[in-house]
């Protein structure tokens, strides 16, 4: 494919995921960003908000969103807060080749779940059935030729990728899964919030979304898909003072006797054809995946409690958002899924 021949747009380009898309697509050999809207920053130079992008964007400014701005593009990435994509997507369908929504508005197949977990009815529930869930390691076969992809959320990606092999193999009970997860502050987005200011976050750790975090049904939906029955999870995220990164510690009750070596073998076999997943006996760290599209996994069996512990780490802005979106776009557009994406993290 000719270099830069795929014309792309970014809706919500002034957020962290939009900025990360600019960074990733700068080295993508086939995709060029033709349009970028950031309505809250319309008219402002992109490099003023993100100086790291200055070599890429020059004196380019954020545009006000309009359908006409994106008309005819090959792929449009949407990085808007929850509740906003469900009104933008219908406007773009039929006017662009492919839509990759990085928000939560099209991830859940059951429209009745949106008022329960998001506090509002879905305004376009008829589009949910046709939206492909964008988690390539589990739904790779559904992505080629897709027109609307709902890219997986960062917390859900880390948790689901850690647990999916254990559920698919029938190794754990699916009605008693516990997930404790830590996440960096960038997962809350760029706009300032009282709970993400420096003085609040520094030297502090806080559990949030207690019993009602919005990624819970997304994780349950995925684990139910890969398993043989309904999955129920108790999911508790924790905000810690780091910019990026997610570490998910996942616990399940064993259905049969096995060893740590057995579980590591199950993980390795399950992800044998997934280029961005590394299974290792070593305990993974968030620093090891920073800036990359990789997921590092490990597991341990505890005979004393008859439980297995799975641990997964990823960069919430790359594999948990923008990198995942690019990986999905690659597959949907017929490109090798690794195109423009790095497996190697930045260290230190």
pLDDT at 68: 97
Whether 123 has a pLDDT exceeding 90, the answer reads: yes
Whether 320 has a pLDDT exceeding 80, the answer reads: yes
**Confidence band (pLDDT; 50, 70, 90) for 4?**
low
What residues form DSSP beta bridges with 36? 10
**328 classed as catalytic:** no
pLDDT tens digits, residue range 152-177?
Answer: 999 999 999 999 999 999 999 999 99
Predicted structure pTM score = 0.96
Q: Any idea which residue has 């760290």 for tokens?
A: 285
CB-hemisphere CA count at 13 Å for 322?
Answer: 30
pLDDT at 103: 95
- Spot the catalytic one: 154, 250, 258, 328: 154
pLDDT tens digits, residue range 30-64?
Answer: 999 999 999 889 999 999 999 999 999 999 999 99
Whether 1 has a pLDDT exceeding 70, the answer reads: no
pLDDT at 191: 80
What residues form DSSP beta bridges with 63? 37
% of the chain exceeding 70 in pLDDT: 99
Q: When comparing pLDDT for 348 and 250, which is higher?
A: 250
pLDDT at 3: 63
pLDDT at 156: 98
User: What is the spatial distance between Cα 127 and Cα 300, in angstroms, rounded to a whole number?
Assistant: 40
Cβ count near 94 (within 10 Å): 8
Task: Check: CB of residue 127 under 8 Å from CB of residue 149.
Answer: no
In order of their start, the domains of the chain are 6-151+319-332 (3.40.50.720), 155-316 (3.30.360.10)
pLDDT tens digits, residue range 74-90?
Answer: 999 999 999 999 999 99
**Confidence band (pLDDT; 50, 70, 90) for 281?**
very high
């Amino acid at each position: 494919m000719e270099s830069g021949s795929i014309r792309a747009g970014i809706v919500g380009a002034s957020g962290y995921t939009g900025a990360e898309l600019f960074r990733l697509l700068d080295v993508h050999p086939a995709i060029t960003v033709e349009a970028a809207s950031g309505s809250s920053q319309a008219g402002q130079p992109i490099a003023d908000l993100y100086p790291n992008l200055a070599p890429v964007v020059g004196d380019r400014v954020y545009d006000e969103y309009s359908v006409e701005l994106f008309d005819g593009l090959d792929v449009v990435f949407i990085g808007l807060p929850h509740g906003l994509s469900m009104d933008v997507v219908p406007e773009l369908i039929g006017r662009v080749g492919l839509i990759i929504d990085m928000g939560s508005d099209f991830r859940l197949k059951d429209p009745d779940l949106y008022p329960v977990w998001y506090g509002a009815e879905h305004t376009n529930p008829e589009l949910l059935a046709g939206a492909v869930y964008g988690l390539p390691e589990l739904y790779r076969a559904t992505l080629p030729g897709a027109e609307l992809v709902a890219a997986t959320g960062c917390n859900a990606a880390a948790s689901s990728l850690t647990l999916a092999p254990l559920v698919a193999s029938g190794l754990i009970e699916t009605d008693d899964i516990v997930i404790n997860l830590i996440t960096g502050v960038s997962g809350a987005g760029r706009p300032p919030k009282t709970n993400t200011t420096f003085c609040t976050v520094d030297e502090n750790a806080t559990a949030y979304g207690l019993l009602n975090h919005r990624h819970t049904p997304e994780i349950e939906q995925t684990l139910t898909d890969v398993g043989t029955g309904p999955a129920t999870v108790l999911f508790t995220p924790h905000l810690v003072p780091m910019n990026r990164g997610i570490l998910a510690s996942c616990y399940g009750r064993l259905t049969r006797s096995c060893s740590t070596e057995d579980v590591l073998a199950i993980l390795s076999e399950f992800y044998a054809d997934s280029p961005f997943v590394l299974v290792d006996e070593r305990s993974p760290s968030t620093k090891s995946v920073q800036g990359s599209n990789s997921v590092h996994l490990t597991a341990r069996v505890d005979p004393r409690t008859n439980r297995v512990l799975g641990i997964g780490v990823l960069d919430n802005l790359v594999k948990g958002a923008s990198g995942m979106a690019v990986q999905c776009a690659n597959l949907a557009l017929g490109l090798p899924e690794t195109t423009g994406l790095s497996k190697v993290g930045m260290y230190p």
